[in-house]
Amino acid sequence: MKPTHLKNALGRRAGRSVGRTALGAAMLGSAGLLPVLAQAGTMREQVEAYQAQLSARHGGPVQDAQPEVVGGKPAKDGRWPFMASLMEKRIADNFDSRFCGASLISKRDILTAAHCITLTGATAKNTQVLVGTQDLTQGGRRINIASITVHPDWNEDTTDSDVAVIRLTEEVNDIEPVAFATTLKEENKHAATGKPTWGMGWGSTQSNPPYPEKLLNVRLPIVDREVCNSSDSYDGAITNTMLCAGFKEGGKDTCGGDSGGPLVAKDSSGEFRLQVGVVSWGIGCAQPDLYGVYSRLAVLGPWVKDQVAKP
């Protein structure tokens, strides 16, 4: 379920296959990726091509840049009602058109990863949002988009501020939006090191079939920032706008195709209904010491909240 450096449209979220050394110096360097993206067809293929190229460019295996929720299992029906998916409008079949995850954060607003927008050329005209289902073969409905706003500090070279807010053309009144963190106090309480979270998505499983029809989810503990930034892991590439989750031994992770989807922690009532991260990037998927990297809503949440508040 985890994108690989920008885990979604690109492989593991576009990333996750970045090499551990000199990672901070040109993590994405998009200039060399443009020819690859230009040759890709669907938005999903553009994301995968980017992730694969990114992985190879930073010394990671290309095959690890495939979207998926690794080590997860099918989510119980209705467990994650706020889960949404970005769809390529020209492709009618939901299974074939899905290219990134997302979450419903208000009746008219959707949260996703910035790279899902900028690296695929997604616009209000060529993209829709699927809500109301955990099964890509049945149920749910597609809604048109009124506008898309990418975080002004989004940086393709460092993957900083990897969030975007989508305003829908109509309200979703039959689904409860997910609450999201906006302060460090909330993170310290609900997403401190070792606290449990759930990641989810329809990304590849690197098995047969490669992509699931039903939503997969995986339980992951929050990882200490110093551990994630150590020389054994991301070697200083984890910035203040990023949050890590996963296991030292690997085996479970979000992956390519999961980009833009939510990482949720327990709220004050003990329910997993507080979004603390957005699937962003990583090196490979479920690899030892290479944890999943998520956009950190304790830092980016105030900007997201401002977008939701706009008329």
- Would you name the residues annotated as active-site residues? 115, 162, 259
Q: Find, among 258, 156, 149, the residue nearest to 198 by Cα.
A: 258
Q: Based on C-alpha coordinates, what's the Rg of the chain?
A: 17
Structure tokens at 205: 């499983």
Three-state helix/strand/coil letters over the chain: CECCCCECCCCCECCCCCCCCCCCCCCCCHHHHHHHHHHCCCHHHHHHHHHHHHHHHCCCCHHHCCCCCECCEECCCCCCCCEEEEEECCCCCHHHHEEEEEEECCCCEEEECHHHHHCCCCCCCCEEEEECCCECCCCCEEEEEEEEEECCCCECCCCECCCEEEEECCCCCCCCCCEECCCHHHHHHHCCCCCEEEEEECCCCCCCCCCCCECEEEEEEEECHHHHCCCCCCCCCCCCCEEEECCCCCCCECECCCCCCEEEEECCCCCEEEEEEEEEECCCCCECCECEEEEEHHHHHHHHHHHHHCC
CA distance 161 to 226: 19
| Calpha distance 41→121 (Å, rounded) | 12
Sign of the CA dihedral with 8 first, then 9, 15, and 17 last: positive
